[in-house]
Amino acid sequence: MLFLSLSVCALWADDTNQPAYQIADNTFFDPTRKEAKTEDYTFSVEYRVEAGYAQHEQRTKNLSFRNQFLHGARLGATFTFNLPYRFGLETGLLYTLLYGTNEQHWRSVDVPSLQTEYIKHRILAHNFTIPIRCFYTIPLWKKLNLFFYGGPQLQIGLAQNDYMQPHLSEGVTTWLKSINVPTEPYDRMQDELVRANIQLGVGGGLEWDMYRLQAGYDFGLNNLVKHPQISDQHMWEWGWYVTFGYRL
């Protein structure tokens, strides 16, 4: 009896000397577990200047003009409203200067042959663009970010001067004037083209600290022919660009 009592007391004493164990959190050993991160994006405004290369394509349908490309420079300033969850909203004012050439051909009316006469067009265009872009940014490494954007924009044609060089006979010149086809230099925005070009654009790029490299493409949505001679006469202006930006 005494031996049994001593054994019980020994076991009780051994249990009281053991450290208290706690049940571990199951998520502690979860390999997919990630530490909670604070959101770095807050409501703020960033100002940038940007400059780069732009190429526009004037796509025509049932016009005497063929499709033509205009090449040039794009520069301006933008400001971005930074929103939570890495989203942003950007707008600004961009100026584009473009240059391109094109030709119109007609069969000679003075020479009884298949000889063609032509006008060589040298186009110098000036545009303002007001974009409204929705941004989404993905952090990659340290200060390196990947971003994508999309949204509408309004392109306002300031001037589109046609410094043409006619290579026409007197008969073709008289005939073209009779059907109101210009044969002397003029501004196409005055009476031929619509100034407002509504576009939808997408793009993306990389950002490192204050520097940004981006590229995008804009799709023209509305017909730019001011007075179509037939119902199915259209011209759209699309374009792409590559610009370098700097945050002020």
- Report whether pLDDT(166) > 90: no
- The confidence score (pLDDT) of residue 4 equals 44
Give 217-242 pLDDT, tens digit per residue. 999 999 999 888 777 889 999 999 99
Domains and CATH numbers, the chain: 40-102+122-162+187-247 (2.40.160.20)
- The confidence score (pLDDT) of residue 67 equals 87
- Report whether pLDDT(18) > 60: no
Distance (Å, whole) CA 149 – CA 247: 17
Q: Which residue has the higher pLDDT, 65 or 55?
A: 55
Q: Which residue in 87, 56, 235 sits closest to 149, CA to CA?
A: 87
Chain center to CA of 78: 13
Q: Are 158 and 128 in contact (CB under 8 A)?
A: yes
Give CA torsion, residues 131, 136, 140, 146, to 10 deg: -30
Q: Which residue in 88, 86, 92, 93 sits closest to 40, CA to CA?
A: 86
Q: Are 155 and 222 in contact (CB under 8 A)?
A: no
Residues in the chain: 248
- Report whether pLDDT(47) > 70: yes
Residue 28 is classified by DSSP as G
User: pTM for the whole thing?
Assistant: 0.77
Question: Phi and psi of 4, rounded to 5°?
Answer: -65, -40
- Report whether pLDDT(57) > 90: yes
Give 97-146 pLDDT, tens digit per residue. 999 998 887 777 666 555 678 888 899 999 999 999 999 999 999 999 99
What residues contact residue 145 under an 8 Å CB cut-off, 6+ apart? 137, 138, 139, 206, 207, 208
- E strand or H helix that includes residue 46: strand 44-61
The overall average pLDDT reported for the chain is 83
> How many Cα atoms within 13 Å fall on the side-chain side of residue 83?
8
Q: Which token pair is 239?
A: 């374009």
3-state secondary structure of 12: helix
